[in-house]
């Protein structure tokens, strides 16, 4: 089987182009203003990590994040990391603004375009290509060798996914991909293949998937963009698959025991572990007849505002945060971009295994016109009963037209 993480961004376009040229294919199936003193456990987990620079950091730096949108665990871990950096650098004052994820990119892009906004922000690479090409992000290509070496040891996949048109515009922090969360008390043997999923659903056990314009279906369901794959999705819905517009509702039903599993990412790990403890498991999503589950694998990372008057400080702050990545791994289930960090939690390791067959999220300009068009195709099949073949044809036509093909 192909390891999609080794394919180039242009290969992603070729994959979808192949889908657009074929009427049928088998499914490959497939986001505190006043910090408290750092806890003793957080201090212990990172005390031996070297500082990013010989000199201590001083001055004011403002960072935006959106971790409040995915639950308390991520936000608490992020704040703990900021606390540690400030503890190590008494002359540093960090202002953190939690922005709703739905507003984060638009808010940053609007502010940065007029010379405003934070010194840096942390987010997935959703809007990385657009922001890089619009000139509002600082080119940090000079950091490539630094990030690849100790103590950062960042994977090539992470660095590739943070690169646009040959230049690095993101300092990767962690990797993300979606997998199947399942309750071990309701689903002792979780389904592994598309056929297994149908069998499980027909037995009366509920599973969930996120889709739709508000749920990012073209992301969660990456790989389900050919007719047979969408037909499988339609069949799964008829068999009892529960489709959600957002993962907040899916999480609530999962914790309540209304569904036995749902596809989502490691940003949910902290809250789900708190609620379910050892009743929580994770495996890859459904494997299709022609290959393994290959979700989009992409980094969360730090973006430096090109308009920042403190860009050097912002870069060094981001590097300092990376030296405390173990906190994010231990407390919030982040999959580190740093390949030397040890993972001891089985859920976090489960996502690390998912990422091994992941498809490095591309930054090719042509993919800008994939998300909306194929997201609409998924909605058309699920909500309107549109023929999968017609839905794919319509999406391909719209994508090709937008790309002047």
User: Does 77 or 367 have the greater pLDDT score?
Assistant: 77
Asked if residue 176 has pLDDT above 80, the reply is yes
- Listed range (20-34, 56-70, 139-153) with the worst mean pLDDT: 20-34
Nearest in space to 335 (alpha carbons), one of 371, 304, 295: 295
What CA–CA distance (Å, rounded) separates 268 from 398?
A: 34
Quick one: tokens of 382? 């699920």
Give the whole-number percent of the chain exceeding pLDDT 70. Answer: 85
Could you tell me how far CA 82 lies from the centroid of its own chain? 21
SS3 assignment, position 67: helix
Contact 373, 16 (CB under 8 A): no
Asked if residue 306 has pLDDT above 90, the reply is yes
From the DSSP assignment, how many helices (H) and strands (E) are in the chain?
17, 14
Contact 46, 324 (CB under 8 A): yes
What CA–CA distance (Å, rounded) separates 196 from 45?
A: 40
Rounded-to-10 torsion of CA 105, 109, 111, 116: 110
- The DSSP result for 9-40, as a single string, is HHHHHHHHHHHHH-S----------SPPPPPH
pLDDT digits (tens, 9 = 90+) for 145-172: 999 999 999 998 899 889 999 999 999 9
Please name every residue paired with 182 in a beta bridge, in sequence order, or none if there are none: 261, 281
pLDDT digits (tens, 9 = 90+) for 203-212: 999 999 998 6
Distance set, CA 399 to CA 10, 20, 194, 396, 402 (Å): 15, 9, 27, 5, 5
pLDDT at res. 44: 40
Residue reference for tokens 């940053």: 108
Contact 177, 296 (CB under 8 A): yes
Alpha helices in 22-96 (DSSP H): 40-46, 72-88
Residue count of the chain, please give it.
405
Distance set, CA 114 to CA 99, 107, 129, 138, 303 (Å): 19, 12, 19, 15, 17
- Is the pTM here over 0.85, yes or no? no
Sorting pLDDT into bands at 50, 70 and 90, what band is 73? confident
What CA–CA distance (Å, rounded) separates 164 from 136?
A: 13
SS3 assignment, position 53: coil
Give the max Cα distance, the chain. 62
Contact 173, 302 (CB under 8 A): yes
Nearest in space to 250 (alpha carbons), one of 17, 380, 71, 23: 71
Region 76-95 average pLDDT:
97
Region 254-270 average pLDDT:
94
Quick one: tokens of 74? 């991520």
């Amino acid at each position: 089987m192909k390891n999609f993480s080794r394919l180039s961004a242009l290969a992603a376009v070729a994959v979808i182009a192949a889908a657009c040229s074929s009427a049928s294919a088998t499914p490959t199936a497939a986001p505190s203003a006043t910090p408290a003193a750092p806890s003793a456990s957080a201090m212990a987990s990172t005390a031996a990590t070297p500082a990013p620079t010989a000199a201590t950091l001083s001055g004011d730096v403002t960072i935006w994040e959106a971790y409040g949108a995915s639950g308390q665990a991520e936000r608490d871990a992020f704040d703990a990391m900021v606390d540690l950096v400030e503890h190590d650098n008494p002359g540093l004052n960090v202002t953190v603004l939690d922005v709703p994820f739905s507003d984060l990119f638009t808010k940053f892009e609007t502010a940065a375009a007029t010379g405003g906004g934070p010194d840096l922000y942390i987010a997935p690479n959703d809007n990385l290509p657009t922001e890089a090409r619009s000139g509002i992000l600082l080119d940090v290509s000079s950091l490539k060798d630094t990030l690849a070496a100790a103590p950062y040891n960042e994977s090539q996949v992470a660095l590739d996914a943070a690169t646009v048109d040959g230049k690095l515009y993101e300092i990767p922090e962690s990797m993300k991909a979606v997998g199947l969360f399942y309750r071990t008390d309701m689903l002792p043997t979780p389904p592994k293949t598309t056929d297994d999923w149908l069998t499980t659903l027909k037995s009366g056990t509920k599973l969930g998937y996120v889709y739709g314009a508000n749920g990012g279906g073209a992301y969660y369901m990456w790989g389900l963009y050919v007719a047979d794959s969408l037909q499988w999705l339609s069949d799964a819905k008829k068999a009892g698959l529960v489709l959600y517009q957002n993962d907040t509702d899916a999480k609530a039903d999962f914790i309540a025991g209304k569904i036995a599993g749902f596809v989502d990412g490691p940003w949910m790990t902290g809250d789900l572990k708190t609620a379910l403890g050892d009743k929580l498991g994770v495996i890859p999503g459904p494997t299709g007849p022609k290959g393994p589950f290959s979700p989009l694998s992409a980094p969360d990372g730090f973006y430096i505002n090109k308009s920042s008057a403190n860009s050097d400080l912002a870069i060094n702050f981001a590097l300092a945060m990376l030296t405390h990545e173990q906190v994010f791994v231990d407390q919030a289930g982040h999959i580190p971009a740093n390949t030397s960090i040890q993972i001891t939690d089985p859920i976090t390791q489960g996502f690390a295994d998912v990422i091994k067959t992941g498809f490095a999220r591309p930054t090719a300009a042509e993919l800008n016109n994939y998300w909306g068009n194929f997201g609409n195709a998924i909605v058309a099949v699920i909500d309107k009963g549109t023929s999968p073949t017609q839905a794919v044809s319509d999406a391909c036509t719209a994508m090709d037209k937008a790309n002047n093909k």
